[in-house]
Structure formats: C-alpha cells, structure tokens
Amino acid sequence: MKHDYPLAFQELANLLKTLPGIGKRSAERMVFSMLKWPPEKLALLGTSVSELHERVTLCPECGNLSSDGAPCGICMNNSRDKTLICVVEDASQIYNIENSGLFKGVYHVIGGKLSPLEGKGIKDIHIQSLVKRIDANAVKEVILAFSSDVEGQATSIYIGEELKRKNVSVTRLAHGLPAGSDISYADSATIAAALHGRRPL
C-alpha cells in the first residue's frame, strides 16, 4: 500500500515542484533536506520568499530587476551608452548578455512577445515607455534581441514598424542563435557573435 507524506510535507513539495527544472522526486528531497535545517534558517527562507516582491523591484527606467524601487545598476552607471538600447523580452536575458561583457549600452525589458494564441497583444508589451526613452535620450540604435521563433519575429516586425517614424536605426541580432532558441540559454561566445553581426531589421 502506498504511504503518503504528511500533508504539510506534500504542500511544500507541490510548491517546489512548480519551479523550473524541479521534478516530484527532487522536490521531495528538498523537503527532506529542509526538515534537517535549524529553525533560524527556515525562518530566513520564509522571509526571503515572503518579502521577495517588496525587496526586488523593477527599474523604473528599463524594467530590469532592481532593489527597493531604485533604478538598476546599469541605468545608474554613467559610463553606459544611453543612446544604444538593447530590447529584451524578459529581465533574465539581461544577465546573460551582461555575462558576455560586450554590450556597453542600456536595456529595455519589453515584457513578453506578441502571441495571439496566448492572448498576448500590443497592450501587454512595454513599447510606449521605449518610445519615450528614444525621444528623451536621443537614442541612435535599438537592438532587438528576441528569440527567432514565430512570436519573436512578429514582435520584432511590430516594434520595427512602430519605430519607423523615429530617427533611430533598428537592428536585430545575427542568426548565430539556433532557430527557436532563447538568448537566455546562449553561451557568451554565441551572444558576442550575435551582437557583433547584428543587422538592420
């Protein structure tokens, strides 16, 4: 006969299981491990989780992750070129591009891709704030760093059209990235090649 875990154990394991890369068995092992933690460590995990939204905020300028409502380190850095904006789908991609160490401009998190099937339309992406930044900072180039799947391409085309009237060059990453792949998973050398070989939209 199957022996179930206690209810609280199961509840925690079910939550952990929803994290990327965590299967049922891993989640259960994590709970077994946590049961051996001292109460202070468990309390610390509890507060870290419950205060996550309060302490990790979005940069009011670019939408990158930041702390306590302040602009992010990239926007605060005066040596970054504010006239060069790399548009990414999600903040997680910024970290990967930064690891390549080659990009000296700033970012703009657009917050998703256009996807009619998932009900994601123009109102769901942050394009107005991008247009405002282009005007405010006399931006010269906008690099679109979307994945090369259908939604990524559609989003690139839409943004390209929207920026047509602006005096700004719109480029996209070279196709060093495998079709349908996400920049989040590309290595530094691939990102460097994609940035270096970028071309007009």
94 binds Zn ion (CB under 5 A): no
Least gap, CB of 6 to Zn ion (angstroms): 44
User: C-alpha angle 201/86/58, rounded to 5°?
Assistant: 140
Q: Which residues in 171-190 contact Zn ion (CB under 5 A)?
A: none
Mask: binding to Zn ion, 40-59, rule CB under 5 A, as x and -? -------------------x
Q: Is 172 helix (H, G, I), strand (E, B) or coil?
A: strand
Among 31, 75, 88, 159, which residue interacts with Zn ion (rule: CB under 5 A)? 75
For Zn ion, the closer of residues 64 and 93 by Cβ is 64
Among 31, 64, 134, 172, which residue interacts with Zn ion (rule: CB under 5 A)? 64
Residues that bind Zn ion (CB under 5 A): 59, 61-62, 64, 72, 75
